[in-house]
Amino acid sequence: MYTTSNENGVLNNYPQEPEMYYAEYPSPEQQQRYSLMGGLAFLFVGTLFLIALSIS
């Protein structure tokens, strides 16, 4: 850890920065899984909305 101090004796600690990397494009299997999860989330939120609408 890199540490400096100013004229008043206050310490400043600087953490190590992580190494940068580029994100990879999702594979077709991951894309299919994302669309399935999105569809399920849409059905879940829609069901909650219809239940709340029917109760009120």
Asked if the model's pLDDT at residue 38 lies above 70, the reply is: yes
Q: Is the pLDDT of residue 26 over 80?
A: yes
- pTM recorded for the entire structure: 0.58
pLDDT at 54 > cutoff 90 = yes
pLDDT at position 8, please? 80
Which residue has better confidence, 56 or 26? 26
- Name the 3-class secondary structure at 10: coil
Containing 3, the helix (H) or strand (E) segment is strand 2-5
pLDDT category of residue 1 using cuts at 50, 70 and 90: low
